[in-house]
């Protein structure tokens, strides 16, 4: 019943299906560990629980997810204040993996399947998440204005981003004859391309051209942001194109593309 109430509360609050699933899994595991109502768990007990997870090498992200789930349940399901005094786990500050312009060009050129080539090119050229590109619909694209209107994306936010003119004809060919509500990219059997398929297309292309960087599909979005900053685009505009709520999230790319650091020559 707790899980049902949690899912109902989160749906009403507008959480994404992915977040609801993650919170539900954490809530189930917390209950399985303590075998009692969550509002009866003491501060020391929950600290001990998190410490055990940390000792099992659970990531800071996962520890914070358990923490957030517990806090959400106490405050929103049990309607009680939570004044436990323990901080969120500190997450490591890693720089995003960015592909160079040359690597992007080689990667896209290596793809023989025209649909896959356009999918990867659009993800990079518009700064799209994998979920955004596979859910993209014909009505979201304005070929005349070269813009894409992303609706109810991450955080239930709409945003406008740019579309590269280089693939305008390729996009036109993909959507010709389709209805406004149809998907731009469909699987061979019809229907939506899966996240896994899109990621596989990208990883196979990496291997094919011999790029050794630990890049993921999301690296296309990282590369989009970094290359815009290198072109002199103001970080605030990049923030809008990416749909970041906080500019500090966008500013991480300035560390990847700092021209002053790149121009320094080693003394060796």
User: How many CB atoms are closer than 10 A to CB 28?
Assistant: 14
DSSP labels for 124-192?
HHHT--HHHHHT-BGGGEETTTTEEEE-S-GGG--EEEE--GGGHHHHHHHHTT--TTSBSSB-TTSSB
Q: Name the nearest CA neighbour of 183 among 141, 220, 221.
A: 141
Catalytic residues: 129, 154, 218, 221, 244, 253
Q: Which residues contact 55 (CB under 8 A, 6 or more apart)?
A: none
137 strand-pairing partners? 183
CA distance 138 to 125: 17
CA distance 89 to 19: 19
Tokens 């959480």 label which residue? 15
In the chain the first and final C-alpha atoms are separated, in Å, by: 66
183 strand-pairing partners? 137
CA distance 109 to 120: 10
């Amino acid at each position: 019943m707790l899980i049902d109430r949690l899912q109902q509360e989160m749906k009403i609050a507008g959480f994404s299906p992915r977040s609801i699933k993650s919170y539900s899994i954490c809530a189930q595991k917390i209950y399985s560990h303590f075998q009692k109502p969550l509002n009866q768990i003491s501060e020391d007990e929950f600290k001990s629980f998190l410490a055990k997870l940390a000792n099992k090498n659970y990531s800071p992200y996962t520890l914070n997810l358990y923490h957030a789930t517990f806090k959400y349940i106490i405050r929103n399901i049990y309607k009680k204040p939570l004044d436990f005094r323990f901080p969120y786990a500190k997450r490591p500050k890693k720089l995003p993996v960015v592909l160079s312009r040359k690597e992007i060009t080689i990667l896209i050129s290596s793809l023989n399947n025209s649909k896959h080539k356009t999918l990867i090119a659009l993800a990079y050229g518009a700064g799209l998440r994998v979920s955004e590109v596979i859910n993209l619909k014909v009505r979201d694209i304005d070929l005349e204005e070269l813009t894409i209107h992303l609706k109810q994306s991450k955080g239930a936010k709409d945003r406008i981003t740019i579309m590269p003119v280089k693939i305008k004809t390729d996009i036109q060919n993909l959507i010709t004859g389709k209805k406004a509500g149809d998907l731009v990219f469909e699987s061979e059997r019809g229907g939506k391309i899966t996240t896994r398929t899109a990621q596989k297309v990208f990883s196979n292309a990496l291997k094919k051209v011999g790029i050794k960087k630990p890049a993921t599909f999301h690296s296309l979005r990282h590369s989009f942001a970094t290359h815009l900053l290198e072109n002199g685009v103001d970080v605030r505009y990049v923030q809008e194109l990416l749909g970041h709520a906080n500019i500090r999230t966008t500013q991480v790319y300035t560390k990847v593309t700092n021209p002053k650091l790149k121009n320094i020559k080693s003394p060796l």
